[in-house]
Amino acid sequence: MKKVLFATTALVATAGVAAADVTFGGYGRFGIVHITDDGTGDSATNVTSRFRLQIDATAESDAGVTFGARVRIQQNEGQQGMTNGARFFARSGGLEVGVGNIFGALESFRGMYPIDLGLTGHNYDYTAYNFRGDAYSSGGLGNSGDNGVEVMYSAGDLSVHVSASDTDDRIAATVAYKAGGFDFGLGAQDSDNAADTELAAYVSGSFGPVDMTLAYADNGTAGDHIVLTGRFDVGAATNIEAYIADADQWSETGFGIDFNHSLGGGTSLRGGVSTGGSVGDETLVDLGVRFDF
């Protein structure tokens, strides 16, 4: 993340402003994706790319309350760059209130993204709640037009997140706690959409050199979704991640494995392979470079 402090004459002259800054950050990635239909044998290889610029603007009052907003500019291959809906927030200590294009309690639940497979994330079959709740939208308005609101609180090893929106009258809550080398979490959601997630839970910990997470979600009419992931280091600059996932709505169990090799300076070489799960007989392979800034 790069931080740039904008101090204009008007800002300096305005009473009640203790500090203000704008932070730019994000990443770029590019490479290839190869997809094979294992049933027909048909295959295709394409270039994949993404550029994401994230802008966070904050100001701090004399009382120590931070007010701010976040927007993103993102472009994927074959698309024009888009600016998304803004998320506004007020933060003091461990308490934060957000409105607009909110993060969403389930989307931010730690056990829902235990790994980030390959260059592109593949089909995110290892995300147990399966995107059936409010989430921060990188390329659209998100919940900025649906009265999205959330409250987050953290104290030591405890974190709590409650979010709500007019999208299907959703309200979700998650609680996570770290103790004795393990991370536990439990979440629930009430929604007018029968296909939305109703319950989610996870537990993660380290077993020797392997960091493992077991996650579960009851995704309403889509049924149960369970995921087991693992991550371990291979030398100082390389790690390997893998998952096995099963869901009632799938005809086949999903599998995936990847590698991430640091090239230094925020750059890395990444690649992975996945099959089954939400895409059935399809096998996806990707390989490329990512740079974070």
Residue 94 token pair: 């461990």
Strongest mean pLDDT among 79-83, 135-139, 195-199: 195-199
Q: Which residues contact 52 (CB under 8 A, 6 or more apart)?
A: 26, 27, 28, 72, 73, 74, 138
pLDDT at 82: 80
Q: Which domains does the chain have, with CATH numbers?
A: 2-292 (2.40.160.10)
pLDDT at 39: 81
CB 160 within 8 A of CB 187: no
CB 247 within 8 A of CB 224: yes
pLDDT at 86: 97
pTM metric for this prediction: 0.90
Provide the residue type at 117 as one letter.
L
pLDDT at 19: 63
**Cα–chain center distance at 17:** 32
pLDDT tens per residue across span 35-62 = 999 888 899 999 999 999 999 999 999 9
State the average pLDDT over residues 74-97.
93
- Between CA 111 and CA 127 the distance in angstroms is 8
pLDDT tens per residue across span 1-38 = 555 444 433 343 444 445 689 999 999 999 999 999 98
Give the closest residue to 56 by CA, choosing from 88, 78, 9, 27: 88
- Between CA 259 and CA 241 the distance in angstroms is 6
Q: Which residues contact 30 (CB under 8 A, 6 or more apart)?
A: 47, 48, 49, 50, 288, 289
State the average pLDDT over residues 68-76.
96
Q: Which position has the token pair 């308490």? A: 95
pLDDT at 1: 54
| Helix, strand, coil share (%) of the chain residues, nearest 5 | 5, 60, 35
pLDDT of 81 strictly over 90 = no
pLDDT above 90 covers a percentage of the chain that reads 89
Residue 117, number of CB atoms within 10 A of its CB = 26
| Lowest mean pLDDT across 75-84, 125-134, 176-185 | 75-84
pLDDT of 139 strictly over 80 = yes
pLDDT tens per residue across span 117-130 = 999 999 999 999 99
